[in-house]
Structure 1
């Protein structure tokens, strides 16, 4: 009887010890490669075509202006570009960018940031436009968050925020800071709002 009681006590002690085992901090899962429908389209994976020589020269000019940190030089270059758009209110480029800088939006720093992002292309008539960031080159129907892959959707949210994503869902085009250069090297636009916001 003492032996049976001792065995029972040992079994209970073992059971209690097992229940008190510390929880494990790590869990290991083996994940297979994501299915094709979750990956970016092959065309988007391949990246945008290389910049034309003329467009690359314009990017070089803009980078030189960025290094000088001169709104005056930026506005003078914009003035030399036929049909260039910096705003939809009809203000001069320099006046507009000076106002933005005084309100905390630095056009030079934002331009530098844009040029560091990937660009996309858009065909307009017979021309190719290089558009920064690449998501701004998409049509509003292609820009719908549900049509983007996970990486693109995260970038879109980072670029335009929840309010911008809501505008896109309501049919707006890309609402964030964007710029474009034509394949012939013309700087076409550098805007931070949509026409309806101005």
Structure 2
């Protein structure tokens, strides 16, 4: 009797389940290979925003003060105070060079502000940390090659330098876009928009 009741309850439960219109859910498990390295989030991306040294931060703060004033004269005076600072490879004074750029529609102050608002990278040069904006400008030419970059880095590179810049990178050149760097001791090293081979 008990066995018959148990069978009846089982059949009734089965009937209720089938009347509900729900079909039994099957679980399927797929085994896939790990994604290639270039498809994974880049560890370098996460470490790009390194803390600036105290001296480098002081230089950034001074540059931001100059940016607020929108004065090319102040920017040129600050650059002149750094004996080894580079703004161009043609030998022009910083002020003359930036004046010419502004006349062509390239505003050095607005461009510098954009750079400093973005992420920076860190590169060791002769045992000294250089903080470089934008972050991709801190990479060596071989690290900039398409297959070495993550999807987000590729998109960022195209946004920064365009197709012509990417073509230069493919030829093995270094980062071809506008960039700036500050050493860990606070020296403003360069703010350039060209490479040494350009005039």
> Under a length normalisation based on structure 1, what TM-score does the superposition of the two structures give?
0.81
Q: Number of paired residues?
A: 166
**Residue in 2 aligned with 1:65?**
66
Residues 76, 120 of structure 1: CA spacing in aligned structure 2 closer, same or farther, 3 A cutoff? same
- Give the CA deviation at 1:41: 2.9
**Residue in 2 aligned with 1:35?**
35
Give me the whole-angstrom Cα distance separating, in 2, the residues matched to 1:177 and 1:160. 8
- Give the CA deviation at 1:43: 3.9
Give me the whole-angstrom Cα distance separating, in 2, the residues matched to 1:174 and 1:46. 19
> Which ranges of structure 1 fall in alignment gaps of 5 or more residues?
1-31
**Residue in 1 aligned with 2:123?**
122
Q: Which runs of 4+ in 1 moved over 3 A?
A: none
SS of residue matched to 1:58: helix
> RMSD value over aligned CA atoms?
1.5
- Give the CA deviation at 1:35: 3.3
Given that 1:180 and 1:190 are in contact with CA atoms closer than 8 Å, whether structure 2 keeps it comes out as: yes
> Which ranges of structure 2 fall in alignment gaps of 5 or more residues?
1-31
**Residue in 2 aligned with 1:163?**
164
Residues 36, 171 of structure 1: CA spacing in aligned structure 2 closer, same or farther, 3 A cutoff? closer
SS of residue matched to 1:142: helix
SS of residue matched to 2:142: coil
Determine whether 1:191 maps to 2:192: yes
